[in-house]
Amino acid sequence: MKTVLLLLAAGSGSRMGLKQNKVFLSLGGKSVLQRSMEAFVPFADEIIVLHRPGEEEAAGAETEKVPFSGVLRLVPGGADRQDSVENGLSRSGCRPEDLILIHDSARCLVSPGLIRRVRDAALEKGASIPGLPATNTIKVCREDQVLQTPDRSLLYEIQTPQACRADWLLQAFARARGDGFRGTDDASLLEHAGFPVAVVRGERNNIKLTTGEDIRMAESILGLSRLPRVGHGYDVHRFAEDRKLILCGVEIPWEKGLLGHSDADVAVHALMDAMLGAAGLGDIGLHFPDTDPRYEGISSLLLLKETVRLLQANGYELLNADLTIAAQKPKLRPYIARMTETLAAALGVDPSRLNVKATTTEGLGFEGRMEGISAQAVCLILPVTAEGTPAAP
């Protein structure tokens, strides 16, 4: 009898707002995938990593870092978890008497004790999964309406690894395929096929990395927390005839606009400089030179979105920003709410993270003489990975 691990690494980072697959995020110098694989080395004879199609090389680079003397295969995952597991089963050399462990690589804090508990229970009873008794009241709802409240004492939050005899699992997948049944975990296929599944005690620290908050929780469990960073931005544009006045992405009716290579949105430029400065990434001129024809007349909101992507690629997200626009005229107060909402949408954050305000300069200086508008911004950014700087693509 051998033990085969199917390690699911085909997820995305979309719920973290990441471009890269979250399994490649670095925590304390090791990727999520590497940490997950390492945890199972003492338990597995064969490891099959289900990677996202097109990521074989990247996944291979991580698995190579793990000393493992058993059989290692890299297999493309499917459209969802069930397809991925099925791909893995079909590519494994498993025999009916073998034991299959299935684990989400996003649960990279799994402990040896938990793996052992699940494995031993499956060896004894055929199939087992780790679960935590629900501590919150859970309600069944549809379209914002509560339908019912199930008895909490019967509810468990289920984790991975899930473990099962290979013959049971193969039968359960064949049955699901025949019936067109789709499950959200492997145990639901076993249940569907009528096999008993034992529940063993899960662990609170065995979190699934899904959001940026989970990453910070994982860092604090591992003792790796990093500090937030501050940034400041300042920009000025002069007034010109026959230009639209765009501030924070909002067109303001006014007799003049601001002169610039892009749409000359001075407020967005100040915010971008603050964000780039906080991340230690230089300034707006470095990333979006005004000699580049691609940026001629472009909406600065697009450049702001690109700045968010640069921050994400370097492991940061915006916590909050405060902007001040200095203009003698026009009166900006009526537009503040729309400006805030427009910026929040471009940044992909809740408007509560932003504050936009306007001031005159009491007639003093170039703003007071109505030669132009200036803007200043400060922001705080938070690290979303322990190592901070995966290379920007």
CB of 317 to Mg ion, least distance (A): 24
Q: Other C-beta atoms within 10 Å of 26: how many?
A: 17
Q: Cis peptide before 161, with omega less than 30 degrees from 0? A: yes
Phi/psi at 161 (5° precision): -75, 150
* β-strand pairing of 229-240 with 257-258: antiparallel
Q: Which residues bind Mg ion (CB under 5 A)?
A: 235, 269
Residue 131, classed as helix, strand or coil, is strand
- Nearer of residues 85 and 284 to Mg ion, judged by Cβ: 284
CB of 246 to Mg ion, least distance (A): 12
- Nearer of residues 166 and 346 to Mg ion, judged by Cβ: 346
Is 4 exposed, middle or buried, given 0-12, 13-18 or 19+ CB atoms closer than 10 A? buried
CB of 102 to Mg ion, least distance (A): 52
Close Cβ partners of 281 (under 8 Å, ≥ 6 residues apart): 287, 310, 311, 314
CB of 237 to Mg ion, least distance (A): 6
Virtual torsion, Cα 214, 218, 219, 222, nearest 10 deg = 170
- Nearer of residues 30 and 269 to Mg ion, judged by Cβ: 269
DSSP string covering 180-201, please? T---SSHHHHHHHTT---EEEE
- Nearer of residues 107 and 269 to Mg ion, judged by Cβ: 269
CB of 324 to Mg ion, least distance (A): 15
189 near 119, Cβ under 8 Å?
no
- Nearer of residues 9 and 375 to Mg ion, judged by Cβ: 375
Q: Measure the CA–CA gap between 340 and 256, rounded to whole angstroms.
A: 22
User: In the complex, which residue's CB is closest to Mg ion?
Assistant: 269
161 near 121, Cβ under 8 Å?
no
CB of 66 to Mg ion, least distance (A): 48
Q: Other C-beta atoms within 10 Å of 363: how many?
A: 10
- Nearer of residues 246 and 349 to Mg ion, judged by Cβ: 246
CB of 272 to Mg ion, least distance (A): 9
CB of 261 to Mg ion, least distance (A): 8
Among residues 162, 356, 117, which one has the least CA distance to residue 250?
A: 356
CB of 341 to Mg ion, least distance (A): 22
- Nearer of residues 259 and 392 to Mg ion, judged by Cβ: 259
- Nearer of residues 213 and 290 to Mg ion, judged by Cβ: 290
CB of 235 to Mg ion, least distance (A): 4
Q: Cis peptide before 133, with omega less than 30 degrees from 0? A: no
- Nearer of residues 213 and 296 to Mg ion, judged by Cβ: 296
- Nearer of residues 86 and 235 to Mg ion, judged by Cβ: 235
Q: Measure the CA–CA gap between 193 and 23, rounded to whole angstroms.
A: 31
SS (H, E, C) 281-303: CCCHHHHCCCCCHHHCCCCHHHH
